[in-house]
Amino acid sequence: MQVLYKSTRGNEETVTASMAILKGLSEDGGLFVPTAVPKLDVPVEKLAQMSYQETAYEVMSRFLTDFTEEELKDCINKAYDSKFDTDKIAPIHEANGTFFLELFHGATIAFKDMALSILPHLMTTAARKNQAKNEIVILTATSGDTGKAAMAGFADVPGTRIIVFYPKNGVSPIQEKQMVTQKGANTYVVGITGNFDDAQTAVKNMFNDRVLAKELDEAGFQFSSANSINIGRLVPQIVYYVYAYASLVRDGKIKDGQEINVVVPTGNFGNILAAYYAKQMGLPIHKLICASNENRVLYDFFRTGIYDRKREFILTSSPSMDILISSNLERLIYRLTGDDSKKCAELMQSLSQGGEYSITEDMKAQLSDFYGNFCSEGETREAISATYYGGGYVIDPHTAVAAGVYQKYLRETGDTAPAVIASTASPYKFTRSVMNALSDRYEGLDDFGLVDALSSMSDIAVPKAVEEIRTAPVLHDRVVDAADMPSAVKNILGIQ
């Protein structure tokens, strides 16, 4: 079955998977969605015998139907190699009666590596397939992890440049150090004096700026995206949910066909949307548990059916979730409207202009697959402590939000189906928050002193991604206001 892609806000025009990846965002501002979600027609007992790379091919080939087998397998093998510190790529750790799906074994020790290791290869293959004449400029806003993972993937990839914007005071010290020390002649990092939503909005506006697009084209450039708004980011994320289920069957932890719950710490909604697509493919998932931090816009949406970004933006210990505009939710909204792009566009316009939208009771009834809740900062610290002192396992604050919300779900529902928690970052990325949750005796240590203390406490070696930035020089120090982001892009590209 050929799968084509159309915009959540457009007409019935369709594009191939490779063109959707190359564009990143539709010209009408919408996100590309598959015209139909393909079924996973490989038996679980067969998937259970497969490597991560083999599973990736089975899942991704169902979505990326205009890639040849040779092209797709080449992309997969280049992505999931020795950059990961485990052959399993996404191993599962059992603690406190739940299964933690470790998605942080890649080059930048966060789950973004799972998709951003392959996106550059998908992108350059897509450019060849579509005879793209321009140099591709990857334009990305990051709340902490996407930026570094994208730069690590695209660094020195021929025919590409990557420009990353991040909130100057809205990421952890380790996250910032990872970004500003990034090597690569084609990589650019810019801090902004605003929050993630300011950066993301400005990036979306640049994508939709026809005048800027014309200037870029005349200078030999075209924009594409490495954010999860790019379908080339989303499809690889579906893989690890399928792999996790098959692994649990292989290891005798669940029976083939048994339903599981999936718990995902959620900011931009891409990671949990990938789990939703996995369920649509036929993976036996019961509940998709959406875990928010104190920026509880998604919790309020699932509770009320009203998405309202008009609220205080809170900086938390889980900065990758400090988001008030969850871009990927638009893909779910599109499904809830019955694939009505006009209705979806109206709702998104309402969000853009008035700061909120409401869905109908009929649409709200279709959210029964989801459960939403949130954790306060205190509850996040408690979850880190409980998981370590109760299960001997150290988790980062984002994973802790998911663990805390899962406990609330258990108390509310009594549903004891096996649960897989997406563990989205290494605790080494957020050492101060983790160590402060475990003890008050580490407050005087600097960030790398905390790294060593965590290593001693957890008996887990310091990841290479952290070790190599101890003494790495700062290579990027540009900071601009959000309003000046377009000027910064043109300055970087030399088209002033």
Query: Which residues carry out catalysis?
Result: 112
Tell the burial category of 123 from Cβ atoms under 10 Å away from its Cβ (0-12, 13-18, 19+): buried
CB 326 within 8 A of CB 268: yes
Side by side, the strands of the sheet bearing 370-374 are: 92-95, 98-102, 419-423, 260-265, 285-292, 370-374
Q: 409-413 — which CB contacts under 8 Å span 24+ positions?
A: 409/261, 409/263, 409/287, 409/289, 409/371, 409/373, 413/371
Helices (H), 24-168: 44-47, 52-63, 69-79, 112-116, 119-129, 146-154
Note whether 275 and 285 are within 8 A (CB): yes
Distance separating alpha carbons of residues 453 and 460, to the nearest angstrom: 11
CB atoms < 10 A from the CB of 354, how many? 11
What token pair was written down for 388?
Answer: 């370590």
* 245 DSSP 8-state letter: H
Distance CA 387, CA 392 (A): 7
Alpha carbons 193 and 442: distance in angstroms, whole number: 30
Length of the chain in residues, anyone?
Answer: 496
User: Rounded to an integer, what distance in angstroms lies between the CA atom of residue 44 and that of residue 251?
Assistant: 13
- Start-to-end C-alpha separation, the chain: 46
Q: What is the DSSP string of 377-410?
A: HHHHHHHHHHHHHHHS----HHHHHHHHHHHHHH
CB 182 within 8 A of CB 468: no
